[in-house]
Amino acid sequence: MSLLEIENLTRNFGGVTAVANMSFQVNTGEIVAFIGPNGAGKTTLFNLITGLIKPDYGTIKFKNIDITGKVPEKIAALGINRTFQNLQLFNGMTVVENVMVGAHRHGKQGLLQAGFSFPGVAKEERFILAKAMEKLELVGLTDKKDIPVEILPYGQQRLLEIARAMAMEPKMLLLDEPAAGLNQGETDILGDLICKLPKMGMTILLVEHNMDLIMRISHHIVVLDHGSKLFEGNPGEVQNDAKVIAAYLGEEIV
């Protein structure tokens, strides 16, 4: 069944159409990659899905609920989370605290209890800490847990952002260029990690320029160009499509 349904989605910035009349569906448990040249509308698409910007036209349905134009925190509460092309970590907090903020939704205590019941708060704190540590373990940052995030190496900051997103235990996770700035070794670790996520109940949308990574891990690829869908199919089909090669992958020089 389809988890995410996008119909006729359109967004203009001034005279520029960043996303033009786009429609596609994403099935539960898939890893779907979005590729295309810079300015093809990939990040705008992510911003539209997560509610950071509102579409001019079209609908976005998640789990059959219309989420078009809802505020980001409402959409997040329905189970969509994302990472950013340029990292958005909570500087000044430690590694594990960052992940704990991601997991805060699993807390049962409301505002008032948090203010008045210390035993309850302590118990919940332990519960959320355990959840956060579990996610750090998955990305291999357990031993860095008490380090302030801003002194973590760049590649590990990327992994941390994914761990924080996972801590929310979203149904759908949007990764915006997760491999940007990573070396080959780190990219391989990242690829293995992403492959594990569908088994944990997450559907993955991925924007990435690293073609090796995309071809290795994605089930389905949507090719965008100038805000429109140029092609969609599995990795094999995409690699052999003449239009895609012309627009993005480039002709092989003989």
Partner 1 sequence: MPLGNELLQYLLTGLTLGGIYALIALGFVTIYTVTGHINFTQGEFVMLGALTSISMIKLGLPMWLAITVAVAIVGIFGAAFERVVIYPARNSSVVTIIIITIGFSVAIRGVALLLWGTQSYPMQPFSSGPPINILGAIMNRQSIWVLLLSIVVVITLFIFFERTVMGKALKACAINRLAASLMGISPQKMSLFCFSLCASIGALAGIFITPITTATYDMGLMLGLKGFVAAVLGGLTNTTGAILGGFLLGILEAMGAGLISSGYKDAISFLILLLVLLNRPEGLLGKPERDRV
92 counts as binding partner 1 under rule CB under 8 A:
yes
- 53 scored as a contact of partner 1 (CB under 8 A): no
d(Cα 219, Cα 230) in Å, to the nearest integer?
A: 17
Q: Which of 30, 97, 176, 177 binds partner 1 (CB under 8 A)?
A: 97
x-or-dash pattern for partner 1, window 56-85, by CB under 8 A?
Answer: ---------------xxx--xx---xx-x-
Q: Residue 101's CB: how many other CB atoms inside 10 A?
A: 16
80-82 β-sheet, strand order: 80-82, 172-176, 203-207, 31-35, 220-225, 228-233
Using CB under 8 A, which of 102, 179, 218, 247 touches partner 1? 102
Binders of partner 1 in range 171-210 (CB under 8 A): none
Residue range at the interface with partner 1 (CB under 8 A); choices 23-31, 102-110, 134-142, 176-184: 102-110
Given 11, 70, 144, 164, the residue binding partner 1 (CB under 8 A)? 164
Q: By CB under 8 A, tell whether 148 contacts partner 1.
A: no
Considering only the stretches 90-98, 176-184, 218-226, 240-248, report the one whose residues sit in contact with partner 1 under the rule CB under 8 A: 90-98
Q: Cα separation of 115 and 32, whole Å?
A: 43
Nearest approach in angstroms of CB 118 to partner 1 is 8
Report d(CA 84, CA 46) in Å as an integer.
10
Residue 55 binds partner 1, judged by CB under 8 A: no
In order of 51, 81, 117, 168, the CA distances from 76 in angstroms are 9, 6, 27, 9
Q: Please say whether the beta carbons of 80 and 72 come within 8 A.
A: no
Residue 50 makes contact with partner 1 by CB under 8 A:
yes
Q: Which residues of 25-42 are buried (b: 16+ CB within 10 A; e: fewer)?
A: bbeeebbbbbbbeeebbb
* Residues constituting the chain: 254
If binding is defined by CB under 8 A, does position 218 make contact with partner 1? no
Cβ-contact 217, 195 below 8 angstroms:
yes
Q: Applying CB under 8 A, does 152 fall inside the site for partner 1? A: no
Which stretches of the chain bind partner 1, using CB under 8 A?
50, 52, 71-73, 76-77, 81-82, 84, 88-93, 97-98, 100-105, 107, 109, 111, 114-115, 121-122, 124-125, 128, 164, 168
